[in-house]
A and B are shown apart, each in its own frame.
Chain A
Amino acid sequence: MNSRLVDRIATVIFWAGALVVIIILGSMISYLLYHGGKYINWGFLTRPSQVISAGGGIGPQIFNSFYLLVMSMAITIPIGLLAGVYLSEYATANKFTEAIRLSIETLNSLPSIVVGLFGLLVFVNMTGWGYSLISGALALTVLNLPFMVRITEESIRGVPGSLREASLALGANQWQTICRVVLPTAFPGLVSGVIITCGRVFEEAAALLFTAGMSSPPLDFSQWNIFNSASPLNPFRPAETLAVHIWKINTEGLIPDLRRVADGSAAVLILFVLSFNLGARWLGRRIYKRMTST
């Protein structure tokens, strides 16, 4: 009887704990959307930011966030994918594998501020690039690489061994099997993993403060030559992302409508993060469905 009572109490506590977490999340998101949602309009999303007068938008910041995302993912995905394949397919239990695993674990637990400092030292100062998109992208790569590797490994683990054996039995070599059988089968997992990694790029600020910089020079959106220094695509220009912008206006903002921009940017950022998460789920499920039905 007594143990039944304890069991009931425990169950109640578990439900309460779960509800608490959901309520915390719900209230945070509704707080952000409630306060910032009313400021979001087309002008706010596209106008350049102002440094001293009211009425600025966050257009360049949104562009920078996305561009940085593309740049860093272009480096992260191939490396992370290949390293993940190595760990799950080729690695044997030896010292080298052990060293790789240890490295990935270390990278995974590196505080982003340490990565930022490293970026400041190497990418910003030693290479002479200054605060630039490329420095930021490389710092983000360091941060996201372990995550990407883990996702690849996990998705590949989910591939049934029988598929692999069948392919090998048909005479395919290991690399052919990986490319034609294993990776396509692991594709849904990979896609949602990649999208979640994208979300992580969006939310990073501490490492970018020291690498991509906190300034957003005026962008000339008619200039699409990547080598032109005024071009928005130039990887060697400093760029402030949305998360860094929130940090900056909260610390050094002189604009009179600071509250509006800060609340609005936070709401926009949350919306992006939300859509990345939901998008990852939706896309992952959809691709899975299409692949299993064909």
Chain B
Amino acid sequence: MKKWKVMMAAVICLAALVALAGCGGQDVKQGADNKAQQLSGNITAVGSTAIQPLAEQAATQFMARNPNAKVVVQGGGSGTGLTQVSQGAADIGNSDLFAEEKDGIDATQLVDHQICVVGMAAVVNPAITVDNLTKQQLVDIFTGKTTNWKSVGGPDQKVVLVNRPKASGTRAVFKKNALGDAEEAAGIEEDSSGTVRKIIKETPGAIGYLALSYLDGSVKTVSLDGVAPTKENITAGKYLVWGYEHCYTKGNPSGVADAFLKYLMSDDVQKNLIPQLGYIPSTEMKIVRDAKGNIKNK
């Protein structure tokens, strides 16, 4: 009999909890609405997983300075970021690509904020003796015309392509700027830069590409047309395989979003955080590139 009472109490508590959760939900939503009207408080930044670490870290520092503001950073991918910011579901949409380059996004209503630049290097297995490739050689390798390292002056070893997933920003940037939009042959695809690096390190004859932030000496970088993938060459406009990390807002930002984007462009982030992550501050770039790929001096 006693046990039954205990069980009954448990059931009641559970029911109460469920009811509470339901009511609680509504209260919170109303609270958020009120806040939005007063323009104080909360914003969300959604999108690219490549900027996520940067944005999370910056948000933590930003919130430490502005205790009343709250920035929630979420991943989900560039497509999600662009979709949600266009729909108004998020205040900032993070993307690895220009909104113009993504299908199904109305880029005209979005305002682009270029936070930093990610350089990309073609990397090979350390046992490959090739140090330099011409652009045409690189294209031939990735399109599957060159299948053996012998034909580009390397050892007699089959080429193994390691790609990022087709929709990934890294891959799109590499394809556009290093391969001139040539279509890659089928290769292994890995969702993660860390795994790509691991595979290239361990697989004889492997070639792939990584953001400079992922280079740790375990794989070998290859120069393109004699230009090494270094920060200096990228900022000077000599090495062109790089892409912006964008933060998009719908219309011009205001309130917390504006303050946060300004903070991202401040010395605090540009001079400290961004280099620490292995990215290149967009303030240091001597050239600019537009959505169509045209490059001009700043």
Contact = CB atoms under 8 A, between A and B. Distances in A.
- Tell me, yes or no, whether A binds B: yes
Interface of A: 51-52, 71, 74-75, 77-78, 125, 128, 130-131, 134, 179-180, 183-184, 187, 213-215, 217-218, 226-227, 229-230, 234-238, 248, 250-254, 258, 291
A251 B168 CA distance: 12
A77 B7 CA distance: 13
A236 to B, nearest CB: 5
Nearest to A48: B60
Given A130-B44, A215-B52, A229-B28, 19 more contacts: A51-B56, A75-B18, A77-B14, A78-B15, A78-B18, A130-B90, A131-B76, A179-B8, A184-B7, A215-B75, A229-B41, A236-B29, A250-B192, A251-B192, A251-B194, A252-B50, A252-B193, A253-B194, A258-B194
A142 B234 CA distance: 50
B14 A218 contact: no
A175 to B, nearest CB: 13
B32 interface: yes
Interface stretch (B19-27, B151-159, B238-246): B19-27
A241 B72 CA distance: 17
A215 B192 contact: no
28 contacts: A51-B56, A52-B276, A52-B277, A75-B18, A130-B74, A131-B74, A187-B3, A215-B56, A215-B73, A215-B75, A217-B56, A217-B59, A217-B72, A217-B73, A218-B60, A218-B63, A227-B24, A229-B28, A229-B32, A235-B24, A236-B28, A236-B32, A237-B72, A251-B191, A252-B49, A252-B53, A252-B193, A258-B194
Contacts of A253: 194
B17 interface: yes
A264 B218 CA distance: 23
Interface in B24-72: 24-25, 27-29, 31-32, 41-42, 44, 46, 49-50, 52-54, 56-57, 59-60, 63, 70, 72
A203 B73 CA distance: 24
A179 B7 CA distance: 10
Interface of B: 3-4, 7-8, 11, 14-15, 17-18, 21, 24-25, 27-29, 31-32, 41-42, 44, 46, 49-50, 52-54, 56-57, 59-60, 63, 70, 72-76, 89-90, 191-195, 213-214, 273, 276-278
B89 A71 contact: no
A63 B51 CA distance: 25
Contacts of A74: 14, 17-18, 21
Contacts of A229: 28, 31-32, 41-42, 70
A-B pairs, 4 with minimum CB distance? A251-B192, A51-B53, A214-B75, A252-B49
Contact of A134 (B25, B70, B214): B25
Contacts of B52: 51, 214-215, 252
Looking at A134, A214, A252, A291, the one whose CB has the most chain B CB atoms below 10 A away is A252
Contacts of A215: 52, 56, 72-75
Contacts of A258: 194
A183 B7 contact: yes
Contact of B53 (A71, A226, A238, A254): A254
Contacts of B59: 217
Nearest to A236: B28
A180 B74 contact: no
A184 B28 contact: no
A214 B24 contact: no
B85 to A, nearest CB: 13
A128 B276 contact: no
B72 A234 contact: no
Contacts of A130: 44, 46, 74, 89-90
B89 A125 contact: yes
Contact of B28 (A51, A52, A227, A238): A227
Nearest to A181: B4
B69 to A, nearest CB: 11
Contacts of B60: 218
Given A227-B27, A229-B28, A254-B53, A214 B76 contact: yes
Given A74-B18, A128-B89, A214-B75, A230 B70 contact: yes
Nearest to A255: B53
Contacts of A179: 4, 8
A51 B213 CA distance: 13
A250 B195 contact: yes
Nearest to A238: B74
B74 A78 contact: no
A226 B24 contact: yes
B40 to A, nearest CB: 12
A71 B21 contact: yes
A214 B74 contact: yes
Contacts of A180: 4
Nearest to A231: B28
Nearest to A77: B14
A142 to B, nearest CB: 16
